[in-house]
Structure 1
């Protein structure tokens, strides 16, 4: 399961001799390689069990981390990895709402439920565009034109439109008109926009409609069923029936969810 940014990640590894027997090492060192390539070396110590070691690392960056254990006396090594989620990952449902829908009365599966929430959020947004409001950056390469089009819609607001090259023209967003539904940006004075430009915008939906919330719950329930056995989600289960795969999503989206999302769908070119 991914860890939260700023949380403590407990790293663990076993040191064994060439015959596979757990053995106390003369030295034990662990190196964590962060997503940006920098490294950290938290102190490692043997636990109460011979040959079993642990180290605590506080996650300071989102993304995938590599863990490398190196032992001497005997020589032994072990490589692992862990993921750290963003400080505010897009999530269509709260953990409380998800637990209620899944009829979970305990907290034993909370970490796994949170991961499934993120997965179903991404699935929904592939069909309807951004839902959870967040800031995105887009570099737009063109010479000049009467408008530019932002790739992700709907757009809540423009943060900035600045030149990518030093000395080129940047634009005050107060002098620009934004069509949030289409992502088209034009100058209020009717002039041309000259690129290349970097546009920073807030995308998503300030109000998440009931059909989108309901679809997310159906997808969550559908995906949760994969824990009950091997293979893809089963067909022929009423609201969770999947009649045909969706490009890029396969059998992850039940028919009922697709129908609920249809009023906001971006169409067949999504993905």
Structure 2
């Protein structure tokens, strides 16, 4: 499961001899490679069990981390990885709401539920655009135009619009007009925009409609069922039926959720 940014990850590895028997190493070192390519080397030590080592690493960056253990005498190596969430990962549902919907009375599955919430959020936003408010950055490659279209909509506000080429024109956000529903940006005075530009803007919704929240809960319940073992999509039985796969999402979205999301859908009706 992903770790929260700033939390401590306990890294563990076994050192074995060529026969596969746990053995104390002359030296034990662990290297963590961060998403930006930089490295860290937390102190490694043998636990109370011969040949079993651990190290504690405090996370400082979001993204995938590579872990490499190296032992000598006996020579042994082990590679692993772990993921770290963003400081504020997009989530349509709170953990409390998700636990209530799944009828969970204990906290043993909380980490897994949080991961499914993030998966549900991404699926919903593929169909209706950004829902969770956040700041994004986009580079726009163009020469001159009356208008430019942001990749994500609905958009809440422009934060900055800067030239990517030194010496070219940057724009004050109050000199621009943003159509939040479409993500179209134009100049207030009607003039041309000159690129390329780097645009930082806020996306999402200030309030989340009830139909989107309800759809997210149905998708969560549908995906949670995968923990019960292999099966196949059910047809014509209940709210979690899947009649047709959705491009890019397959059978992840039940019919009822698609119907609830339809009023806010970005494209033609699916399902």
Q: Deviations over 1:160-194 (max 9, x none)?
A: 11111111111111111111001111111111111
Paired position in structure 1 for 2:127: 127
Alignment of 1:82-121 (within 5 A): 82-121=82-121
1:240 aligns with 2:240: yes
Output the CA distance in 2 between the equivalents of 1:172 and 1:227: 51
The aligned runs of 1:38-187 (5 Å cut-off) are 38-187=38-187
The whole-number CA distance in structure 2 between the counterparts of 1:212 and 1:4 is 26
Could you tell me how far apart the structure 2 residues matched to 1:186 and 1:56 are?
A: 51
**Aligned residue number for residue 254 of structure 1:** 254
Q: How many residues align?
A: 270
1:204 equivalenced with 2:225 (yes/no): no
1:234 and 1:71 mapped to 2: Cα distance?
51
Kept in 1, the 8 Å contact 2:8–2:57? The answer is yes
In structure 1, list runs of 5 or more residues that go unmatched: none
Residue in 1 that maps onto 2:225 = 225
- Is residue 262–residue 269 contact of structure 2 (8 Å, CA) maintained in 1? no
Q: Separation in 2 of the partners of 1:52 and 1:61?
A: 27
Residue 36, structure 1, aligned to residue 19, structure 2? no
Q: Could you tell me whether the CA contact under 8 Å between 1:26 and 1:71 is conserved in 2?
A: yes
2:26 match: 26
Q: Deviations over 1:36-65 (max 9, x none)?
A: 111111011111111111000001111101
Change in 2 beyond 3 A, CA 1:259/1:87: same
Question: Does the residue aligned with 1:123 lie in a helix, a strand or coil?
Answer: helix
Structure 2, unmatched stretches of 5+, are: none
Question: Which whole-Å CA distance do the structure 2 matches of 1:222 and 1:269 have between them?
Answer: 20
Taking the aligned partners of 2:231 and 2:161, their CA distance within structure 1 comes to 47
Note if contact 2:157-2:180 (Cα within 8 Å) is conserved in structure 1.
yes
Q: Please state how far the C-alpha of 1:230 moved relative to its aligned partner.
A: 2.1
Q: Residues 235 and 72 (structure 1 numbering): CA distance in 2 closer, same or farther, change over 3 Å?
A: farther
In 2, Cα distance between equivalents of 1:9 and 1:37: 18
Instruction: Report SS of the residue matched to 2:239.
Output: helix
Give the RMSD, CA atoms, in angstroms: 1.3
Residue deviations 1:17-49, cap 9 Å, x none? 111111111111101111111111101111111
Which residue in 1 is equivalent to 2:190? 190
CA distance in 2, matches of 1:208, 1:111: 24
Assess if the C-alpha contact under 8 Å between 1:225 and 1:233 holds in 2: no
The answer (yes or no) to whether the contact 1:232–1:251 under 8 Å persists in 2 is: no
Deviation at 1:237, TM superposition (A): 4.0
TM-score, structure 2 as length reference: 0.97
Say which SS state the counterpart of residue 152 (structure 1) adopts: coil
Conserved 8 A contact 1:42-1:56: yes
For 2:49 and 2:184, locate their aligned partners in 1 and report how far apart those are by CA, in whole Å. Answer: 63
Aligned to 1:216: 216
Query: SS of the residue aligned with 1:77?
Result: strand
